[in-house]
Structure 1
Amino acid sequence: MDILTGKRTFSSLRPLDLSLCTKQQITDYFNNSYDLNESIFLGLKDETVFYKCPDRLRLPLVFYYGHTAAVYVNKLMLVGLIKERINLDFETIFETGVDEMSWDDTENYRMGGSYKWPAMSKVVEYRRAVRNLILKVIEDTPLVLPVTMESPWWALMMGMEHERIHLETSSVLIRQLPKDMVECPEGYKYGPLKTIRSCNKWLRIKELENVSQNKPADFPSYGWDNEYGEVVCNVPPFEASQFLTTNAAFLEFVERGGYMSQDLWTEEGWMWVQYRQARHPSFWVCDQGCKSGCGADLASYSHCKLNFGQLNEVKNGLERHKKAKHSNYKLRVMFNDVDMPWDWPVEVNYHEAKAFCKWKGQGYRLPIEAEHHAMRGPQLPTLAGTASDIIFQEEINANLNLQYGSSTPVNMFPPTKAGFYDVFGNTWEWMEDHFNGLDCFNSHFLYDDFSSPCFDGKHNVILGGSWISTGDAASRFGRYAFRRHFFQHSGFRLARSLTEKVDLPARVVDTEVFVLGSGVQANKPCLDSDLQVVHVKSTHAAYNLDTLEALEGILELEFGYRESFAAVVADLCKNYCSFFHVSTSSAVHLGSATGRGSFELSKHFCRVLGVETCGRLIDAAMRLKAERYILYKGAKEIRIGDKYNLDRIVFKQLTWIPNEVDSHDLVLITHLDRVQNPKAWLVRLWEITKPKGIVVIASKDGNWDKKKLNHHLCHRLKCISSQEVPFEDASGEGTATVTVWRHK
């Protein structure tokens, strides 16, 4: 079947200058983004491949084909550029992707169990409808320049850049499929395999002061939230390899048993090696029948020639890999196996890069984010506008923007003025820094959880873009990150500090993050002990609030007082529904904390959904529901007895309001004082409220009165009541501000 709703292309336009772009340029960039993403799927041989799982930690490819279209609709609804949805079912099942939070996650299927995905013909039809809708939005909506974060047009820019991110995501997944399921599409061009071999020299950078990492808020291009803010630091003298580490350089590590030497790996890295039975980089192909990471009915597939069932004959390849000749290795590029291009950069995850550093010897490490900025050398100041950004320049002297459909030799493109090759493009580069917001980080209400859930100390920064990076991902300001086990088109170069006991401005998140189902996991810096790093708190508000002390305090406040804030507000909700003649079929409590409010609502509502952002709090609520009691502060006990209808309650940890929340007769929100971006929680309240239903907004601090809320709530919600109500807490009696809003 034809999966294209536009035209085939593997050529990318440059991004939009938001200070002077025209409607025609916006139309062209949108079509190009949409076309590129669809064209990458032309490499699938038939419709059945869309339902395969190339990676057992990811979803089937049909999800990624439909996902970006659904995100356009969801974001444009938030800013009012469209008034009606196209297909709510599709905008729910295709809404949220997967950033697996562990390398040993169970097989991922949406909605629990083995989900039946819609027919491809329906998904293609949906993408076509979304394309036509957006083209009409561009045509009909007045364009006011410059387009800024406050403009409704920002939502459309967000959709286009999100689409380009998934061009990379889908390409990695397609690259993991069995070869007989893919074919190289017409017009797709790989890079040259060979070049003149060069020695990988070490280049020195002297100490630099006031190295700045930031994107100005008024820079005239789209940016993701984590790019804004600023960090300024001094960079101690260091040296780094001129080129990215090549396949040829990594070969020696493989042949000398690097994947079998536990002492070279971090604890987390070695667990990953054992789990994946990794013996070489994931896109290398040998003849040993190595285990693949495919899922579902592809779980037994091996990219490495032999049938998976023959592994026992070669003892998982361990002995034979010790003797493997490099001539046996090939490389899986997007759609083919090719003779190993030894001059291309090796593509590995963070664990593999760190093990290579350890194998090289004392002092070897990966660069840090500030050093990457230093290796770029002098650049035009940002006051020059888009001309200062490589992706906007007339001649892009880097393997970026899909000039090729693969990596290229590491010395093919010219170096930066500091002498380093492929600082931009070819492959992403792993950094030592944990991903975190810059100082003064603020999320955007349209995508509050784009970056912040990854500020957990488990995600490392990647910089520079890859051969398939386009748009913002190829920008000098682009900051991205993945879990350390993650496969991407990512490589690395080596770095060393030039002084002992150096204070290295690597930013390491030291906030303890509680993961539901796993608790708090160890999170040690992976650097030599003689390097002093910068320990920082996560810039994600929920992680800093989600402490053991906070849990114990909230349990005390919710269950230690008969007229607690949660109990009083829940009782008010019952009265409001009675007074305003609202059905009691279903309620959702946003900010359910440890559950008292949701438990109280279960006495009056047939279905109750409790939504909470903090892991410890939702864990406590779930334990109380399951066991009816909980111990805290060592010996104190809470018991909830039989007065609640626990079978009516479902608790979910969510970082925003996705479509799966559905719509309810009552929407209660009580956590605006402790979320990162209150507007992100307010802007969708109208859509999750049934017609004639009500929204109840309660705050203990008095900050959220009718006047302030009117600035953020959709015009479809009308205030019908506002009052101050007393409640009990540790200081005696407090007063809450409670407003009620009717869905028109």
Structure 2
Amino acid sequence: MNRDPAPQHPLVQRMIDARRVTDALFAVVKPEYLYERPIRERHRIVFYIGHLEAFDRNLFDERLCPLPAFAPELDKLFAFGIDPVDGGFPTDQPSDWPSLDSVRDYASKAREQIDSRLAAFEFGRGGMATGSPEQLLHVAIEHRLMHAETLAYMLHQLPLHMKSAPRGATPVEHASRNVGSTPMMRVPAGEAVLGMKKEDGRFGWDNEFGEQRVQVDAFEIDRYMVTNAQFREFIDAGGYRERAYWTDKDWAWKEAEGIAHPVTWSRRDDGTWLLRTMFDDIALPPDWPAYVSHAEASAYARWAGKALPTEAQWQRAAQGVPHAPSGNYDFRSWNPQAVDASPDNVSAFGVEGLYGNGWEWTSSQFEALPGFEAFPFYLGYSANFFDGQHYVLKGGSARTAQCMLRPTFRNWFQAHYQHVYAGFRCVRS
């Protein structure tokens, strides 16, 4: 790509840093495989090389500064990264896309155009006002960092021979910590605060605004996320074969897709379970969090005689976690770690590992907070998913940027999407 501009504002430097993260991620894929589609619901990898730059160009044009179109057909082609819902899979072929040289040339020119404008831009005191330069830059940065995580989900599904491990991504060496059974921590009745007020002056996405105070009854919650060893007990007990643990919709999905275990698990003829990491197949680490879909997590919770927490329960249980806890996040690792590996990442109620190491499913559908207003420059970011098919996740994974570990951040995915770096913990009233 082009030479980085001299930063004139901290947010400009953050945007440059975010570019380095996504550039390094694309470099993991051997060039001849950039037209692969490792997850059928998603675009081909090459799309995202153009999309990240097109998004910035389309967002900044006439809002931050004029950016005359130099390839309007590519601005349009790469504009939208929203994936289909429930079975509407893309049918395009590699030949339908521009050449890799053309896509990279477009991306390079888009960056060069943006950087030349930012080099001369004079930032004022707009704060986080709607449409202010500061807000637009935050949106561009976090949009890119979100893709840095979801692209990792895609690349995880690529066959190992299609990838090259970057320097520092050494083979996984795992010594089991033998977490054993997970104790439950009591959380007394009290208030949970969802979202934040616009007048707080902090950046957030549209679905984070509209502070809502919820009174939560006392409950118990797992001290740690559910581990691979615990989820294996569910499998060994026939959890994927027992109809009673699954909703009608989840059972129909499981049967139609032939789901019998988490997507990254496989089993040898001798019964040994393996886990597919980004760059290797390893013996299943028993004390890592089990990454599963919402449907699988819900079935496990019913088998265990418990439930998934609501968003308010999770938020209540997370009170008191240090502002910058230790943990496995911000691209520090390609893999999870033991669920008890960050003892100072703990809430006021003794609940550990709530931020990083794996998103955590809740039972709450993704809905607007009171007074929701869509960003006028990104109308569909949240509103397109208030559809009763997406569930809120909280916390963050090893591939989640630190800026998105703020307590108000709300992630969401469909119940049957298995590829998220997401685990769960259970609650009991």
* Structure-2-length-normalised TM-score: 0.93
> 1:75: how far off?
0.6
Call closer, same or farther: CA 1:78–1:276 in 2, change over 3 Å. Answer: farther
* Candidates 177, 184, 189, aligned match of 1:202: 184
* Candidates 14, 18, 22, aligned match of 1:29: 14
Asked whether the equivalents of residues 212 and 230 of structure 1 are also in contact (C-alpha less than 8 Å), the reply is yes
Call closer, same or farther: CA 1:471–1:196 in 2, change over 3 Å. Answer: closer
Asked whether the equivalents of residues 194 and 211 of structure 2 are also in contact (C-alpha less than 8 Å), the reply is yes
Asked whether the equivalents of residues 435 and 461 of structure 1 are also in contact (C-alpha less than 8 Å), the reply is yes
Asked whether 1:375 is paired with 2:314, we answer no
Asked whether the equivalents of residues 443 and 449 of structure 1 are also in contact (C-alpha less than 8 Å), the reply is yes
* Candidates 463, 480, 503, aligned match of 2:394: 463
Alpha-carbon distance in 2 for matches of 1:88, 1:451: 26
Alpha-carbon distance in 1 for matches of 2:349, 2:170: 30
> 1:354: how far off?
0.7
* Candidates 26, 30, 34, aligned match of 1:41: 26
Aligned to 1:424: 355
> 1:159: how far off?
1.2
Aligned to 1:570: none
Asked whether 1:269 is paired with 2:250, we answer yes
Asked whether 1:179 is paired with 2:160, we answer yes
Aligned to 2:277: 333
Alpha-carbon distance in 2 for matches of 1:126, 1:197: 50
Alpha-carbon distance in 2 for matches of 1:264, 1:248: 19
Q: Secondary structure at the match of 1:482?
A: strand
Q: Secondary structure at the match of 1:51?
A: coil
Asked whether the equivalents of residues 193 and 343 of structure 1 are also in contact (C-alpha less than 8 Å), the reply is no
* Candidates 295, 304, 318, aligned match of 1:351: 295
Call closer, same or farther: CA 1:344–1:86 in 2, change over 3 Å. Answer: farther
Asked whether the equivalents of residues 193 and 316 of structure 2 are also in contact (C-alpha less than 8 Å), the reply is no
Where do 4+ consecutive residues of structure 1 move more than 3 Å?
Answer: 4-7, 188-192, 218-221
- TM alignment of 1:618-637, pairs within 5 A: none
Alpha-carbon distance in 1 for matches of 2:380, 2:70: 24
Asked whether 1:448 is paired with 2:429, we answer no
Alpha-carbon distance in 2 for matches of 1:34, 1:120: 18
* Candidates 308, 330, 337, aligned match of 1:408: 337
Alpha-carbon distance in 1 for matches of 2:150, 2:339: 23
Letter in 2 for 1:400: Y
- TM alignment of 1:316-331, pairs within 5 A: 325=271, 328-331=272-275
> 1:98: how far off?
3.2
Asked whether the equivalents of residues 76 and 155 of structure 1 are also in contact (C-alpha less than 8 Å), the reply is yes
Letter in 2 for 1:490: A
* Candidates 404, 410, 414, aligned match of 1:479: 410
Q: Which structure's residues are more often strand, by fraction?
A: 1
- More contact order relative to length (CA 8 Å, sep ≥ 6): 2
Aligned to 2:100: 120
Deviations 1:330-367 (A, max 9, x none): 11111221221111100001000011112113xx1001
Percentage of matched positions with identical amino acids = 27
Alpha-carbon distance in 2 for matches of 1:232, 1:192: 44
Aligned to 1:81: 65
Aligned to 1:129: 109
> 1:86: how far off?
3.5
> 1:200: how far off?
1.0
Deviations 1:629-672 (A, max 9, x none): xxxxxxxxxxxxxxxxxxxxxxxxxxxxxxxxxxxxxxxxxxxx
Call closer, same or farther: CA 1:379–1:53 in 2, change over 3 Å. Answer: closer
* Candidates 490, 497, 500, aligned match of 2:422: 490
Alpha-carbon distance in 2 for matches of 1:398, 1:418: 18
Q: Secondary structure at the match of 1:239?
A: strand
Asked whether the equivalents of residues 11 and 134 of structure 2 are also in contact (C-alpha less than 8 Å), the reply is no
> 1:82: how far off?
2.4
Deviations 1:670-704 (A, max 9, x none): xxxxxxxxxxxxxxxxxxxxxxxxxxxxxxxxxxx
Asked whether the equivalents of residues 34 and 45 of structure 2 are also in contact (C-alpha less than 8 Å), the reply is yes
Aligned to 1:654: none
Asked whether 1:108 is paired with 2:90, we answer yes
Letter in 2 for 1:140: A
Can you give the 5+ residue segments of structure 2 that lack an aligned partner in the other structure? none
Alpha-carbon distance in 1 for matches of 2:327, 2:355: 6
Alpha-carbon distance in 1 for matches of 2:312, 2:75: 39
- TM alignment of 1:1-16, pairs within 5 A: none
Letter in 2 for 1:64: Y
Deviations 1:397-418 (A, max 9, x none): 1211112121111000122232
Asked whether the equivalents of residues 428 and 489 of structure 1 are also in contact (C-alpha less than 8 Å), the reply is yes
* Candidates 216, 223, 244, aligned match of 2:197: 216
Asked whether 1:70 is paired with 2:54, we answer yes
Deviations 1:690-722 (A, max 9, x none): xxxxxxxxxxxxxxxxxxxxxxxxxxxxxxxxx
Q: Secondary structure at the match of 2:380?
A: coil
Aligned to 2:120: 140
Q: CA RMSD in A?
A: 2.1
Q: Number of matched residues?
A: 422
Asked whether the equivalents of residues 183 and 222 of structure 2 are also in contact (C-alpha less than 8 Å), the reply is yes
